[in-house]
Structure 1
Amino acid sequence: MRILVVTGCPLARSAFQSLLTEREDVEALWIEECKNPEGYTARLGEADLALVADCTSLDAVLAAIRACKASGEVRVLVVTGDAGETVLRQYFQAGADGLLLKKSLESELTAALAALLHGAKYVSASLASEFAARYLTEPVAIAVKPSGEALTARQKEIIRLAALGHTSREIGDQLGISPKTVETHRTRLMAKLGLSSRAELVEHAMQHGLLPAPAG
């Protein structure tokens, strides 16, 4: 996924950089200043998701949300430290697709990203679902578990080749990476997808269109 982070806080920039740069499913990451709309609006056409951190004034955050939504298809997740209903209502009404409390950032970020990528709304588990239902018209995901669907093209290819029985060296030769890197990717992918054997890997690959289903 391609993520644009909009924030005016150096600490938030550092936190997002740390959390997102090591993720295998993040293909590209841009971090732009909230006070510089020309900088982040230029990136919106390339991004799948925009994360807006409310480290600046309420008006600046609302303006950033509206600018992101006005650009087209990008989904917007607001990361906030304010759980007050008045502020949260304004975020939703401005067009936010999800709301993640800062205290839950590390534990719920994967779930929030997965929900938005699959077209759902998201609110942190510590917020009442009744509140979310008053302001969100699409399905709301509360504490969604990470989905195995949001995989990069390379991750899908590793799954496909492994399911076909290729060795780590053969996969590495095809993808231009080392066998050790292939092993690391495969181990993490199987854990992420909840798979424990090659038979389960093959079944997953067929269910998700990475391998043809058996004839007859």
Structure 2
Amino acid sequence: MKIVIADDHAVVRSGFSMILNYQPDMEVVGTAADGIEAYQMVAKHNPDVILMDLSMPPGESGLISTGKISSDFPDTKVLILTMYDDEEYMFHVLRNGAAGYILKNAPDEELLTAIRTVHKGGTYIHSKMATSLVREFIKKDPDSVDSDPFHLLSKREIEILPLVAKGYGNKEIAEKLFISVKTVEVHKAKIMEKLNLKSRPELVEYALKKKLLDF
């Protein structure tokens, strides 16, 4: 199977490439340092699986690119490989098309199992996170609304939120994302409304709490 590795650390990309290329049924056909490069590698190589880190500053995060790749290249399975054992991130990327979620400190054999599982069309969740997933399923009424409105944000709003929290102005955000200033203003208003925030300090506090500034 053809595999792409997306991680902002060169040593991580090299290390995982050595492990995977040693397997008789795997070949690393490309690597990427952020979400934009990850998308380009998928478009170029049409891999079976992409290992996607969530946090790849200062480039586009895996949180954003997962949704784009899942939408535009449905034959490529996205396996999140991250150090974040955060339930909210896991739920969000699974909702946006990821086929699996595994932690970077997992044993090599578990990583290989996860890759083969998602390649065959299955879903793989790291054992520690799987427990949280089952707990969440059991405790929630299927018709209830998530108490944290983070899941209500669109992909574009998740891109804009950390930029606002970091202090970028509307014009700077518009230039970074290649959209109009008016569009930025509309998205900012929707973010504040969906998250029930009243001021920028509250937005910054929320972004810090959700670790979005890492992205």
TM-score (norm 2): 0.55
Are 1:22 and 2:12 matched, yes or no?
A: no
Matches within 5 A, 1:17-96: 17-37=17-37, 39-43=40-44, 46-57=46-57, 60-70=61-71, 71-96=73-98
1:21/1:29 contact within 8 Å kept? no
> Considering only CA atoms, is the larger Rg found in Structure 1 or Structure 2?
1
Alpha-carbon separation, structure 2, partners of 1:48 and 1:74: 5
Are 1:117 and 2:119 matched, yes or no?
A: yes
Coordinate RMSD, CA, aligned:
2.5
Post-superposition Cα deviations, 1:21-80, rounded to whole Å, max 9, x if no partner, equal 211111452112215346324235x21111102342596111221122122211110001
1:4 corresponding residue in structure 2: 4
Label 1:111 to 1:43 Cα distance change in 2 as closer, same or farther (>3 A): same
Q: What one-letter code is carried by the residue in structure 1 that aligns with 2:15?
A: A
Label 1:133 to 1:77 Cα distance change in 2 as closer, same or farther (>3 A): farther
2:80/2:102 contact within 8 Å kept? yes
Label 1:124 to 1:19 Cα distance change in 2 as closer, same or farther (>3 A): same
**More divergent stretch after superposition (31-40 vs 70-79):** 31-40
Label 1:122 to 1:129 Cα distance change in 2 as closer, same or farther (>3 A): same
Post-superposition Cα deviations, 1:160-212, rounded to whole Å, max 9, x if no partner, equal xxxxxxxxxxxxxxxxxxxxxxxxxxxxxxxxxxxxxxxxxxxxxxxxxxxxx
- Any stretches of 5+ residues in structure 2 without a counterpart? 138-215
Alpha-carbon separation, structure 2, partners of 1:50 and 1:108: 16
Label 1:97 to 1:15 Cα distance change in 2 as closer, same or farther (>3 A): same
Q: What one-letter code is carried by the residue in structure 1 that aligns with 2:40?
A: G
How much identity, in percent, do the aligned residues show?
A: 20
Post-superposition Cα deviations, 1:57-113, rounded to whole Å, max 9, x if no partner, equal 596111221122122211110001111212222221221110111110523112101
